[in-house]
Amino acid sequence: MTDALLVSNVLLWILLVGLGVAVLALTRQVGILHERVAPAGALSIQRGPSVGEKAPLLALMDLAGQPVRIGGEDPLGRRTLLFFLSSSCPVCKTLLPTLRRVVSEESPSLRLVLASDGEPAEHEEFLREQALAREGYVLSMELGLRFEVAKIPYAVLIDEHGVVRAKGIVNTREHVESLFEAWRLGVSDVQAYLARERDARVMTESGAPT
């Protein structure tokens, strides 16, 4: 009986050691995978004003009857997050809490402008459902045409001087945040930064001059 108990204890310890080794191996692989998987940024498309160019200058009115100017120097030194949406777009609705959070974190240096088109009555109902303010909500077909927006949800980040700093199709919270990250990194989008870093790493590993 004693021998059998000893053998079972030895086997149990061997099993525990084996599990520990397996966990360590898996942890290492997860770390390697985390380094290799690139974060997903907003999908930038080659339409409309390019990053680094001046945004179209437009004088609009929001649903509250207040003037909203897009482009040009902002008198209060604010950046503008221009978000194109549709009242029938489910993804747009899921992103609204993210937009509110981003604006609250960046306030007062950032203003949010929600842009769409269509009948005002339809959007008034949407505002009530989503508990949105009428201020900063504009209906303008021209705005979408000038930025050449073909798919939504779509966002454009414009600096205080009216220059486009980042843009792209945004389907997730990470996509929205990537616009600000691209601006901080000084690139057109996160993918461009990752490609640049990858090329630099390849050049370094190959010993070629950078």
5 and 68 in a single domain? The answer is no
Domain holding 69: CATH number?
3.40.30.10
Q: Is position 48 within any domain? A: no
Buried b (16+ CB within 10 A) or exposed e, 46-70: eebbebeeebbebebebbeeeebeb
Are both 177 and 77 inside the same structural domain?
Answer: yes
Per-residue pLDDT tens for 13-31? 676 666 655 554 444 443 3
Residue 140 has pLDDT above 90, yes or no: yes
Residue 32 confidence (pLDDT): 32
Alpha-carbon distance 8 to 11, whole Å? 5
Q: Which residues pair with 138 in a beta bridge?
A: 62, 115
Residue 90 confidence class, pLDDT cut points 50, 70, 90: very high
Looking at the domain assignment, is residue 51 inside a domain? no
Does 100 map to a domain? yes
Distance CA 93, CA 153 (A): 10
Residues 74 and 17 in one domain: no
Average pLDDT for the chain: 80
**Do 89 and 190 have their domain in common?**
yes
Percent of the chain with pLDDT over 90: 57
Look at residue 184 in the predicted model and tell me its pLDDT: 84
User: According to the model, what pLDDT value does residue 186 have?
Assistant: 78
pTM: 0.72
At 60-89, the pLDDT tens digits run 999 999 999 999 999 999 999 999 999 999
Q: Assess whether pLDDT exceeds 70 at residue 132.
A: yes
* pLDDT of residue 131 exceeding 80: yes
Evaluate whether residue 206 is within a structural domain.
Answer: no
pLDDT the model gives residue 31: 37
Residue 41 has pLDDT above 90, yes or no: no
What pLDDT score was predicted for residue 38?
41
What is the SS3 assignment for the chain?
CHHHHHHHHHHHHHHHHHHHHHHHHHHHHHHHHHHHCCCCCCECCCCCCCCCCECCCEEEEECCCCEEEECCCCCCCCEEEEEECCCCCHHHHHHHHHHHHHHHHHCCCEEEEEEECCCHHHHHHHHHHHCCCCCCEEECHHHHHHCCCCCCCEEEEECCCCEEEEEEECCCHHHHHHHHHHHHHCCCCHHHHHHHHHHHHHHHHHCCCC
Q: Which domain holds residue 18?
A: 1-28
